[in-house]
Each structure stands twice: as C-alpha cells, then as structure tokens.
A and B are shown apart, each in its own frame.
Chain A
Amino acid sequence: MKYEEIVHRCFRCGYCKFTGDYSTFNCPSYRKFGFDTYSPGGRMWLIRAWLAGEIENTTRLQHILFSCATCASCVEHCVFTFSDDLVNAFVAAREEMVNGGIIPPRVRDYLKSIHINGNPYRAPGEERDKWAERMSVLPYDGQEYLFYVGCVGSYDERAQKIARSVTDLLLNAGVSFGILGKREICDGNEVRALGERGLFQSLAEQNIALFRELGIQRIITLDPHAFNAFKNDYPELGGHYQVFHYSQVLAPLLRGEAMPFRELRARVTYHDPCYLGRHNGEYTAPRIILRSIPGLDLVEMEQSRENAFCCGGGGGNFFTDILGGGEESPARVRIRQALDTGAEILAVSCPQCAKMLDDALKAENAAEKMKVLDVSEIASLALPQSQDSCSNGLSP
C-alpha cells in the first residue's frame, strides 16, 4: 500500500482530532461516532493492523475508512512531520479495499455509476448542459477560460442554480469563457478519494485529451473538488493548467471595481469548503467578494478557515452518505455553529457544501432563521439588475 511506511508512526496522541485552540473536536467522523477508531489516529492503527493481518476487511472497517470526509483537518493539526500524508494514507487504504473488491455497496454503486454513466446520478450525458438552457453561455471555442461545471453543478437541482449564478457573474464581469456542455465528463476527484485509482486515471486522461484537443489552458471551476483534482492530481498525468476556483477569478475584478454591487443588508457567515480552504489554502477570495457588497455584514464562525468544520460531504460522502444523518451529523453541527453567529445567511462556495448544509438546515428546523446561499448567489443578488433574476427568495 502506498504510504504504508507512515502508518506505524502514529502515536495516537489525538492532536489531529482538535481545532487549533483545542476548543472542540474537528474530525467529522470522530465527532459523529465517538469511538477513537473513527479518528485519524484510529484509522492509522487499524490500517496497520489490517495490513498486518491482525484484523480483516469487515463492514465495520469499511465504514471506518469510508466515513473519512478527507477534510484534512487532521493534516492541519497533526504534530508530526508526516501529517501531509494522513489523508493520502486513508485514500491509499481505500484503494487497497477497492483493489480487493470488498467495499461498501454505496461506494461500489457510486463508482459503477461514474464508470457506466459518466456521472453519479445515472443521468444521460445529453442532459449535462441542461442547467445552461436559456442562458447566453457559449460552448468553449478558444475563449480565455473553460468554465468547468462538474457533475454536481450539471445535474443537481440546487447546484444548477449556483452554476447559473456563477455564469451570470462571469458574464457580467466580461470574462471570456465557454463551457464543454455535453462533452464535459466527471473530473474524478471523488473517484480518486474513494480509492478507484484506475477509474480516476481514465477520467483524467479523457479530460486531458479533450482539453488538449480544444487547446484549453485556463480553467475556472464551479466546484472546489474539481479545482483540487485539476490543480493537484492532473499534473502528474500530464495535465498542466492554470486552474481557478470561480471566486479567485471574480475577487480581483472586484478590487478593480469592474462589478459594482448595490447594497445588500444581511448578516452573513462564511463556511470554508475543505477542498478550497485546507486542501488548497484559499480562504480569502470568497471573503473578498462578500466584503465588497455594501451593507453586507460578514461575521466569522468560531471554527473558520484552517479550523473550519467540514460539512461532511467530502471524500465521496456527499454521494455515499456513509457519515449519515442524525443530530450529530457534521452538516447539522455546522448549521448550529452558523446559527450561533446570528447570521441570516450561511455563505458557501461549493455546490456540495450548499446541498449538504441546505438539507441540514431543514433537519434542524432552522429554515426560517437562516438561508444557505453560495457566494455567487449572494453576489448575483447584489447585482444592479438582480430583481428580475432572483430566485432564492432573499430580497436585497
């Protein structure tokens, strides 16, 4: 197994479980399930035991390994020099399980769906560009940027709205971009995180070939997960691009006042997506966008930036739901943290987080108190012409 050389080095001291100030536990699966086996240290010790034949691949071990949200809070807080490879080791162990063919049914179904349908929704590829109907967005044809929407943005109803609001903003800002439409395929970030290395490589190679064919050099992603794959995993397979999360393209334009917003009076708190924040160090761009909206009061949750608590959707859990529901589900915990700020809007910059937190908001019976909106949706609401296009129910 890759990274096998580090699994015995865990002292299980538990710093990995915490926030930086030790105020609370920040590992989503540990916080949900409570057994030390569900903590990063627990996984390290169990992986070692499994590789040594001391325990077997059971349903429980699968649950423990696949409930990791790959949020990288452990990477941030582990005190050892191998901390950077903690999540890599967990993914590698998943790869071992996948290679052995004994994995949770939900993971198997997800991977099969990607393999057969090219998306996790078992939806036809022809419907991939439906989100863009009635929008004046063009197919990619040599524009400066490719706007890569991804599976969630293409098919999930909630995420489609976000894809449209980002498109609106890019068009408003005069950004030269096009989309792949029906030709777009899965970026593979979750396939890789769930341990199907071969399928990931196949998806990546297809994308790289397509990008090469179209001459794509610069990519804007809707989803931090795709951003992560293109930025960090494609280069080793020959795909070298300038990759931006949409917030990173928009934030500099706002500095230049290319997109003046009108006043939007709202108290907003921002949830850092793990694959934009901890995995890629981008904490600022979404906040620049929010702060550039007159009247918007941005307040921070106690756990933010490097200490942000994951929504529980990372590492494929958005699709497999192995972290599950209940009062202690990470998304519901995160909603309660957001409510504590007194904010009326919980801002996100990831379609997966948006969906996870939206559902959790309903489960917490807090839909009257707060809304979950993507940064792009909030910014769209603050566009001067937004009265006609606002569909989120929040009046500016």
Chain B
Amino acid sequence: MKDILNRLAEIVGEEHVSNQPEEIFYYARDPGLMPPHNPDYVVLPRTSGQVQKIVLLAKEEKIPLVPMGAGMALTGLIIPLKGGIVIDMKRMNRILEVNEKARYAIVEGGTSQGALKAYLEKHYPRLRHSIPDAPATATIAANVVIHGQGRLTQQYGFNSDMVSGLEVVLPSGKICKIGSSSLSSAWFSKGAPLPDLSGLFLGWFGTTGIITKVALKLYPRKRFRDVDVFVTDSEELVPEMVYELTHTEMAEDINVFSQPLPMIFKDNHHITIFITGDTDEELEFKRKMIWGALDPYIKSKDGGFMGVPPTMKPTFLDMPQRSVSRFADVKKGGGFEYSGPIILVEKYPQCTGKIRELASKYDLAYSAMARIIGRGHCMMFGFAFTFNRSDPGMMERTRKALSEVSEFVLEMGGVFWKPTVDEQKMALNKMDPNTLSILRMIKENLDPYGIMNPGNWEVA
C-alpha cells in the first residue's frame, strides 16, 4: 500500500496525495444520504498528463478510480463504492480558451461553474454559459457528465447538449479528443458531422473515462435580465401554461416551484419566467408576449402574475441561486436530497401530488421545483426533502420517501436523473435488453478491468 502512495506522490507531488484518516473520512461521503465507503487514497492532479499516469498506475494495479468534482450530485456518485483512488479534479481549474466569435470555451476538468461565470463576466461580457443552480463550486465537467441542467436549458436543452468537445483519459491510459478537436484546433462540435463519440462519456459518471477538458458552448448574454412569477392554484393547468409559454420562445428559463412555506405559498404553483434583453424595448416585447400567452388564465381567474418585491428579486435573479443551498438548513440540520427525474411536463400534477403525499406520510419538509427542458420536451422535477443531519430518524424517513419516489418515477414513465446506485439497478432492470447489451459492450471494451468508478452503471 505504501508503494502505491509513493508512486502517486511521484506523479502529483507528496503534498497532493493522502491516505490520512481525515481525507479518507471526508472523501468517503457526499452531502446526501448514501452510505459512506472509504477510499484508499485521494489525489489532486494538476494536468491531464498526471491523470493519465494515475490511470496507468490504477490499470497496472487494478485499483478502482473515482473522479470527483465538487461532489454536489448528492446521490453518491463520487462515493468510492469499492475503495481505490478518489481523483479530486478541482486543481485542474484553468480556463484554457474562449473563442468569442464561435462562442465556446475550453476549460480543464475541475473548473467550477462559478469560475467560468466570473471569467466570462469580466473578459467576455456578451457571453454566458448555462449555469446550474448547484453551488458555484460544482464543476463544468461533472455537470455535463450527469446531464445537468442550467439557466439556458429551456432554450438549448441539457447542459451536456451544449458540450462542443471533450478530452478524456480512457481506462487504457490513452488521452483521447472527442469531436471536432480530434482533427482540428477548433473545438466547435462534440460530434456532428462525425460519429458522435461524446455519448461514450456523457452520462456515464466516469465509468468509461475521466474528462480532463471540456469545450462548452456559450450564448449571448443580454444586458438586462428580469423575472416574472405567474401563480396558480390549479396544478392541472400548469402543463398547458408551460406549453403556451414555451410556444412564445421568449423566455430565458422557466421553472415551476411549489412549497408549503411560507403559508401564502401553500398549494400554489409559481411559474418563474426569466426574460432577457439588450434594450428595454426587447424586454418589454418579451414580457408582453409572455403576458399575452397567459392572459386567458388570468381572465378565467386561474392565476395571475405575482408582484415580485424588489427585495425578493435578487434571490430569483441570483446565478447560481444560493437560496437552493439554504434549503438544506430549513430544519437547522444541513441536509437535503432530492430525486430529480426527467419526465414529461404533463406529469406535473401527479408529481406535485406525490411529493405532498410523501411529505405528509414521512413528516418531512419539502420543496418541489420543475425546470423545463427544451421547448417543453420534458422537465426535471425535483422531489426535494430537507433533513437534519443530527436526526437519524428524519434521515431514514427521507431515504424511504426518496425510495418511493424512485418507484413512482418508473411508473410515470420517467427516467432517473443522476441516479443512485439503487436507481441505476432499477433502470438497468427495466431497460430494453438490446440497449443493455450495447451498454455492456461499451463498458467491457472501454474498461475491461472494471476499475472506473466501479459499482456505477454495472451491467450484469
């Protein structure tokens, strides 16, 4: 074991590798509810070359490897289920290139969402990326690996759809470029017009390779940004309201949230519509279109626009929304976890009904938040429960509630987002056998020794 430690130290430097109890304890867990598993080592590489050497060492010694960003998926995806080496990627945080005219950025695999946001605001104020509401420490690479969503998801799809190139260290130790970068210095496409190999890595949670560089599409950043909130107590009408809104193609982002507190929010559904514009006229035009789309519901007394107080606006317009993290302390307990299935928007009423039912059944505080993906093609519906980390009973009740969500999701025709290991098994069990065989073939060929984040996406 000491030999491995020394060899890792030769690769990354003695100060950037640890097998001390403190790092073993911390990196054995994430902030969610999944049980911990100890790694044997934690390393902090600085370059793709160092990652390559770590992979070659792991391959030689058949040691599991678990790449990690900020560990904010909450579903245990960075917990080293079979021990081994956790590769904390956050020292690889350089923004390597921004191609302003082609609107893409190339970043290292540990670059945070916050750092890219700040960099663009300072150096390229007319460009932005689709920042998620995960904490600003969440990394770009980890977010696309889990098919994350962000502020531009309603317009452009999953954040992983916005990838325009990858550099990946394969389980073999080869460093591989994916997309246009495989034959050009320009990273403008992750696939088309070539065979799109990015699908071998996106959504795989590091089980097929370690992403060391990501090219991400950037989009116009308008000068002004505002938010309107449409409130309805008719949850069955939410899907068609979303349909009308997405038809306008005027919104930057559309979220729907419902929660029991404060009391005036109870049983209401808040459709949060973000708009942007370079001029007041553009903003007003978009607002007019959006108000027009929802006007019939105002006339039928099924809803109305809420006056957003100036003190509340910054909370809505915050990117990322820090208030999302604050949900963890509603019970003064530092914990929340959510299941966020990708599901049809028409299932919104069933989803909200389910979360209320589970909150009541398990005596939990909840928040439901749906983010519309694409022009209403689907949504991420977040079944979020907050828990007190010092209350094992509450944590267990939360686990049970989330377990019921998993079953419900499959019944509703949804697909798990960033699934726990248990959910992965459920998904694989339900999956078309021919699809499953493709997954197996890819996994066996890319990772024949099964060293990459083992326990995840394990096809029997």
Which residues of A come within 8 Å of B, CB atoms? 8-15, 17-19, 21-24, 33-37, 42, 45-46, 49, 54-56, 58, 60-61, 64, 79-82
The CB with the most chain A CB atoms within 10 A, among B16, B115, B121, is that of B115
B326 touches A80 (CB 8 A): yes
- CA of A33 to CA of B27, assembled, Å: 15
B389 touches A8 (CB 8 A): yes
A13 touches B26 (CB 8 A): no
A34 touches B21 (CB 8 A): no
A46 touches B44 (CB 8 A): no
The CB with the most chain A CB atoms within 10 A, among B23, B70, B119, B121, is that of B23
Q: Contacts A35-B44, A60-B22 given; indicate if A12 touches B88 (C-beta within 8 A).
A: no
B322 touches A79 (CB 8 A): yes
A55 touches B25 (CB 8 A): yes
Interface residues of B in 15-40 (CB under 8 A from A): 15-16, 18, 20-23, 25-27, 31
Q: Which residues of chain A are within 8 angstroms of B22 by Cβ–Cβ distance?
A: 37, 46, 55, 58, 60-61, 64
Closest Cβ–Cβ distance, residue A249 to chain B (whole Å): 37
- CA of A55 to CA of B24, assembled, Å: 10
B91 touches A58 (CB 8 A): no
> Which 6 A-B residue pairings sit nearest by Cβ, starting from the closest?
A22-B114, A14-B137, A23-B118, A11-B328, A9-B334, A13-B135
- CA of A35 to CA of B24, assembled, Å: 11
A23 touches B115 (CB 8 A): yes
**Does residue B335 face the partner (Cβ distance < 8 Å to A)?**
yes
- CA of A12 to CA of B26, assembled, Å: 11
B26 touches A22 (CB 8 A): no
Closest Cβ–Cβ distance, residue A323 to chain B (whole Å): 13
| Chain A residue nearest to B29 in the complex (CB) | A45
> How many interface residues does B have (CB within 8 Å)?
44
Closest Cβ–Cβ distance, residue B361 to chain A (whole Å): 25
| Chain A residue nearest to B15 in the complex (CB) | A33
Q: Contacts A34-B16, A49-B25 given; indicate if A13 touches B325 (C-beta within 8 A).
A: yes
Which one of A22, A81, A82 lies within 8 Å of B112 (CB-CB)? A22
Closest Cβ–Cβ distance, residue B277 to chain A (whole Å): 23
- CA of A36 to CA of B118, assembled, Å: 22
Q: Contacts A56-B21, A60-B22, A80-B329 given; indicate if A22 touches B118 (C-beta within 8 A).
A: yes
B26 touches A8 (CB 8 A): no
A10 touches B16 (CB 8 A): no
- CA of A180 to CA of B360, assembled, Å: 67
| A-B contacts, 12 listed (Cβ < 8 Å) | A8-B390, A11-B328, A13-B31, A13-B137, A13-B325, A22-B118, A23-B122, A35-B18, A36-B26, A42-B26, A55-B22, A79-B322
- CA of A58 to CA of B390, assembled, Å: 24
Q: Which residues of chain B are within 8 angstroms of A8 by Cβ–Cβ distance?
A: 333-334, 388-390
A60 touches B20 (CB 8 A): yes
| Chain A residue nearest to B114 in the complex (CB) | A22
Q: Contacts A34-B44, A35-B23, A60-B20 given; indicate if A12 touches B31 (C-beta within 8 A).
A: yes
| Chain B residue nearest to A328 in the complex (CB) | B15
**Does residue B332 face the partner (Cβ distance < 8 Å to A)?**
yes
B90 touches A54 (CB 8 A): no
Q: Which residues of chain B are within 8 angstroms of A23 by Cβ–Cβ distance?
A: 114-115, 118-119, 122
A34 touches B25 (CB 8 A): no
- CA of A61 to CA of B18, assembled, Å: 13
- CA of A35 to CA of B389, assembled, Å: 23
B88 touches A15 (CB 8 A): no
Q: Contacts A8-B389, A8-B390 given; indicate if A13 touches B328 (C-beta within 8 A).
A: yes
- CA of A61 to CA of B26, assembled, Å: 12
**Does residue B385 face the partner (Cβ distance < 8 Å to A)?**
no
Closest Cβ–Cβ distance, residue A324 to chain B (whole Å): 10
1/0 per residue, CB under 8 A from A, across B268-301: the answer is 0000000000000000000000000000000000
Which one of B20, B26, B329 lies within 8 Å of A81 (CB-CB)? B329
Which one of A11, A21, A46, A61 lies within 8 Å of B325 (CB-CB)? A11
A17 touches B389 (CB 8 A): no
**Does residue B202 face the partner (Cβ distance < 8 Å to A)?**
no
**Does residue B11 face the partner (Cβ distance < 8 Å to A)?**
no
Q: Contacts A9-B333, A22-B118, A46-B26 given; indicate if A58 touches B137 (C-beta within 8 A).
A: no
**Does residue B8 face the partner (Cβ distance < 8 Å to A)?**
no
- CA of A42 to CA of B88, assembled, Å: 14
| Chain B residue nearest to A80 in the complex (CB) | B329
A11 touches B122 (CB 8 A): no
- CA of A55 to CA of B28, assembled, Å: 13
**Does residue B136 face the partner (Cβ distance < 8 Å to A)?**
yes
Q: Which residues of chain A are within 8 angstroms of B44 by Cβ–Cβ distance?
A: 34-35
Q: Which residues of chain B are within 8 angstroms of A33 by Cβ–Cβ distance?
A: 15
**Does residue B201 face the partner (Cβ distance < 8 Å to A)?**
no
Q: Which residues of chain B are within 8 angstroms of A35 by Cβ–Cβ distance?
A: 18, 23, 26, 42, 44, 88
- CA of A13 to CA of B72, assembled, Å: 7
Q: Which residues of chain A are within 8 angstroms of B158 by Cβ–Cβ distance?
A: none
B136 touches A15 (CB 8 A): yes
Closest Cβ–Cβ distance, residue B375 to chain A (whole Å): 30
B137 touches A11 (CB 8 A): no
Which one of A13, A60, A79 lies within 8 Å of B21 (CB-CB)? A60
- CA of A33 to CA of B16, assembled, Å: 7
Q: Contacts A8-B389, A54-B25 given; indicate if A24 touches B322 (C-beta within 8 A).
A: no
Closest Cβ–Cβ distance, residue B9 to chain A (whole Å): 14
**Does residue B316 face the partner (Cβ distance < 8 Å to A)?**
no
- CA of A35 to CA of B42, assembled, Å: 9
Closest Cβ–Cβ distance, residue B19 to chain A (whole Å): 10
**Does residue B117 face the partner (Cβ distance < 8 Å to A)?**
yes
Which one of A11, A15, A22, A55 lies within 8 Å of B336 (CB-CB)? A11
Q: Which residues of chain A are within 8 angstroms of B20 by Cβ–Cβ distance?
A: 58, 60
Q: Contacts A22-B118, A33-B15, A80-B326 given; indicate if A11 touches B334 (C-beta within 8 A).
A: yes
Q: Which residues of chain A are within 8 angstroms of B23 by Cβ–Cβ distance?
A: 35, 37
| Chain A residue nearest to B117 in the complex (CB) | A22
Closest Cβ–Cβ distance, residue A26 to chain B (whole Å): 11
Closest Cβ–Cβ distance, residue A89 to chain B (whole Å): 13
Interface residues of B in 382-414 (CB under 8 A from A): 388-390
Closest Cβ–Cβ distance, residue B360 to chain A (whole Å): 25
1/0 per residue, CB under 8 A from A, across B118-159: the answer is 110110000000000001110000000000000000000000
Closest Cβ–Cβ distance, residue B385 to chain A (whole Å): 14
Closest Cβ–Cβ distance, residue B245 to chain A (whole Å): 30
